Structure 1
Amino acid sequence: MMESTKVLVIGGGYAGVMAANRLTQRDDVAVTLVNPRPSFVHRVRLHQLVGGTDSAVVEYRKVLNDRVRLVVDTVARIDAAERSVALASGGAVGYDYLVYAVGSGSAGTEVPGVAEFAYPVAELEDAQRLRTILDGEPASAAVTVVGAGPAGIETAAELAEGGRAVTLLCGGVLGPYLHARGRRSVAKQLARLGVTVLDGPDTRVTAVTADTVRLADGRELPSRVTIWTAGFAVPDLAARSGLSTDAAGRLLTDETLTSVDDPRIIAAGDAAAPSDLPLRMSCQAAMPLGARAADTVLSRIAGEEPETLNQSFAAQCISLGRHTGIFQFATRSDVAVWFNVDGRMGAKLKETVCTGIVKHLSDEAGKPGGYRLHRISGGTARQRHLAAKRVDERVTAGLAV
């Protein structure tokens, strides 16, 4: 009887589930998924959990292939030499190949008072805790959302639509990714919902207390509930395990998503830094990266050379409450363009995307190998950046270009 190749996937988010499902294409591959929760977190709906309009949870039986063994635990350390991981519960799991898909969480705790008095929304437990806090506060209580990326905009809009008095602090521009035309549309919709938007460098938060937020220009704003969405950070598992990472802690890989330290370790999702040029943190990148990581593993098992990353983007979509939104189109290299769809149609497109994410995962669970979006040709910007990076490295090393 042929011995199975053991593949361990760390992290059961968009990238990890996609990779785990895809790996079941081969009958001689045994896939184990380690995740700290027994259910799949539909992260792009966490702002809805905060607003009370969705649970942001999907049962794994709906998105995970039956052949994937789910271990509800947390990986404490990776022992690459022994091809084993230590679990927080005290056990261990061995592997022949490992897919590192640990995702990302909240950042910004270095700002005084944030860790004690602000509420992040990057994780399921964070959003659930915040929902409980809001339920205990009157509708008139001042709510401040810090950070004007998609998470901040969506959370502010969701709460304002529910009758909350919300201030959104940008610390810079509103929706940095958006085209200027899309930014104006978002500002208009937020104003319609009653959100007070404060932008510019002077709105950077320098401290948070139990009932105030202090800004860079010295102003102090009353804030009964302060919500922190200003950036994301990755877990330090790779660094703690002695693996090479970028400055943010993402696992360094080549363009096949293979660790620069170990050909048996492949990364996907927010915690991957291929060629030290990580992609935008998003499900739009995570699922194709999960599929690419699985394909790399399957190629190595088959004794074939893995294909390199070929990532394509299309848009960024943002909910503005339950009835409006924006679908910001972009180039395949992930640069926003002038064209967008907003209003009710924008909301419908965002909902289609959210529903489609689960469908993609479910379809891959039912028919492993069917997902193809990671094979769509990407833009040329990444190739230009890689070429420029290689020239810089040669110059730094004192080599002829």
Structure 2
Amino acid sequence: MAGNTHVVVVGGGYAGVMAANRLTRRDDVAVTLINPRPDFVHRVRLHQLVGGTDDAIVAYQDVLAERVRLMVDTVSRIDAAERSVTTSAGGTLGYDYLIYAVGSGSAEPDVPGAAEFAYPMVTLEAARRLRAVLDNVPDSAQVTVVGAGPTGIETAAELAEQGRQVTLVCGGVLGPYLHARGRRSVAKRLAALGVTVVDGPDAKVTAVTRDAVRLADGRELPSEVTIWTVGFGVPDLGARSGLSTDAVGRLLTDETLTSVDDARILAAGDSAAPSGLPLRMSCLNATPLGARAADTVLSRLAGEEPEKLHQSTYAQCVSLGRGGGIYQFANRSDVAVWLHIDDRLGARIKEKVCTGIPKHLAGEAHKPGSFKLHRMPGGVAKRQKLLRANRTAASAAAEAQAAAGRSA
């Protein structure tokens, strides 16, 4: 293979494509991107696929650098000692560096009946299956969306805008990330679309049946189609390969995104847990993390000290059908603040974000090194403060546990 250094990127989502493109800055680096699908999944549009307003895919030729070799396959194991990966097709591929960007999905539901009767939508295949189910039921069929994070809210709004009868079960509060003012704005828009919002401490789902959803307070909501958007999980490839991960499967790294186990393995996107303090799942974080992981590799190849992670811009952008949306601003601790933009302007901003993401990736493909978001000034001091607080809390918990053990 051409090039003196071979980098394998596992996963072709936002982080993986950004990392692969950026690595082509050096002519002596060959890059292989391994992904199970031949097309790029534009994940922030999966709710539109379910609603029938977008197919949520982009051709890799439109976002991936020509020098990146695309291998359509699935990695079944990483052998860190041999610096190689084994694929489901039975092949073995060596590497000098590996970037772990396998992304995230929904956790296996532990609610009785959810796995059998509720439809997830976190992957392209799951969203397509759900779309087919909706195509085969009348518009009057009662649809229940479980989970009131961004995916649940967007899906409920998308379907209600088309005239579907939708109930959104929050399992707590509507939009947990949102500021109270932003939450009121979202609730107003959902009400205008006809969505029934079920929130509060008793709005937790305790069981799902073929035609109903049962809540903690004993209520039973009729549901011909139940959509499950609850939970977060990461593919177990890292753990199966003997690498250190956190409780949900994210690869444990230092602040340069380098694995705590192996200096030749890095992680980016939703599957990275730098210093045990991962960033919130979002494309806003995934894309810069991909650039940061690539920069760490490039710095090492140049004999330079890699920069540490920092993130200076936080927000959450949620569509509320095609005619509404909200852009929720946040501080550098990623806590929502009072400022938000909603209604039609919020919808336009969300659409601009959705169309802009492939443009960022394509821009890096055509001019590697042009992406700058991960290098914006600020954010370092705040990140270090959060890390110190995390270490202090962990130390206090350990001391309390030790004291309890001594007194037992």
Q: Shorter-chain TM-score: which interval?
A: over 0.9
Paired with 1:397 and 1:228, the residues of 2 have a C-alpha distance of: 36
**Superposition deviation, residue 314 in structure 1:** 3.2
Cα pair 1:51 1:131 within 8 Å, conserved: yes
Query: Corresponding residue for 1:204?
Result: 204
Cα pair 2:34 2:73 within 8 Å, conserved: yes
**Superposition deviation, residue 220 in structure 1:** 1.2
Paired with 2:389 and 2:157, the residues of 1 have a C-alpha distance of: 40
Q: How does 1:1-400 map to 2 (within 5 A)?
A: 4-379=4-379, 380-392=381-393
Paired with 1:283 and 1:27, the residues of 2 have a C-alpha distance of: 28
Paired with 1:397 and 1:194, the residues of 2 have a C-alpha distance of: 49
Per the alignment, do residues 332 and 393 of structure 1 end up closer, same or farther by CA in structure 2, a change over 3 Å counting?
A: closer
Stretch moving more, 388-397 or 5-14: 388-397
Paired with 2:278 and 2:164, the residues of 1 have a C-alpha distance of: 36
Paired with 1:2 and 1:328, the residues of 2 have a C-alpha distance of: 45
Paired with 1:188 and 1:136, the residues of 2 have a C-alpha distance of: 30
Cα pair 2:3 2:27 within 8 Å, conserved: no
Per the alignment, do residues 145 and 394 of structure 1 end up closer, same or farther by CA in structure 2, a change over 3 Å counting?
A: closer
- Partner amino acid, structure 1, of 2:285: A
Cα pair 1:326 1:350 within 8 Å, conserved: yes
Cα pair 2:182 2:328 within 8 Å, conserved: yes
**Superposition deviation, residue 11 in structure 1:** 0.3
3-state DSSP of counterpart to 2:334: coil
- Partner amino acid, structure 1, of 2:269: G
Cα pair 1:312 1:333 within 8 Å, conserved: no
Paired with 2:137 and 2:328, the residues of 1 have a C-alpha distance of: 34
3-state DSSP of counterpart to 1:202: coil
Cα pair 2:232 2:248 within 8 Å, conserved: no
Per the alignment, do residues 120 and 394 of structure 1 end up closer, same or farther by CA in structure 2, a change over 3 Å counting?
A: closer
Per the alignment, do residues 118 and 394 of structure 1 end up closer, same or farther by CA in structure 2, a change over 3 Å counting?
A: closer
- Partner amino acid, structure 2, of 1:121: M
Paired with 1:381 and 1:219, the residues of 2 have a C-alpha distance of: 44
Cα pair 1:105 1:122 within 8 Å, conserved: yes
Cα pair 1:108 1:114 within 8 Å, conserved: no
Cα pair 2:109 2:231 within 8 Å, conserved: no
3-state DSSP of counterpart to 2:337: strand
3-state DSSP of counterpart to 2:284: helix
3-state DSSP of counterpart to 2:339: strand
- Partner amino acid, structure 2, of 1:104: S
**Superposition deviation, residue 335 in structure 1:** 1.4
Percent identity for Structure 1 against Structure 2: 74
Paired with 1:139 and 1:117, the residues of 2 have a C-alpha distance of: 19
Q: Deviations over 1:191-221 (max 9, x none)?
A: 0000000001211111111111111112111
Paired with 2:227 and 2:190, the residues of 1 have a C-alpha distance of: 17
Per the alignment, do residues 2 and 348 of structure 1 end up closer, same or farther by CA in structure 2, a change over 3 Å counting?
A: closer
Paired with 2:89 and 2:209, the residues of 1 have a C-alpha distance of: 36
Number of equivalent positions:
398
**Superposition deviation, residue 378 in structure 1:** 4.1
Q: Deviations over 1:328-355 (max 9, x none)?
A: 1111331111111111000000001111
Paired with 2:58 and 2:386, the residues of 1 have a C-alpha distance of: 38
- Unaligned segments of structure 1, at least 5 residues: none
**Superposition deviation, residue 396 in structure 1:** 7.1
Cα pair 1:312 1:334 within 8 Å, conserved: no
3-state DSSP of counterpart to 2:93: strand
TM-score normalized by structure 1?
0.97
3-state DSSP of counterpart to 2:202: helix
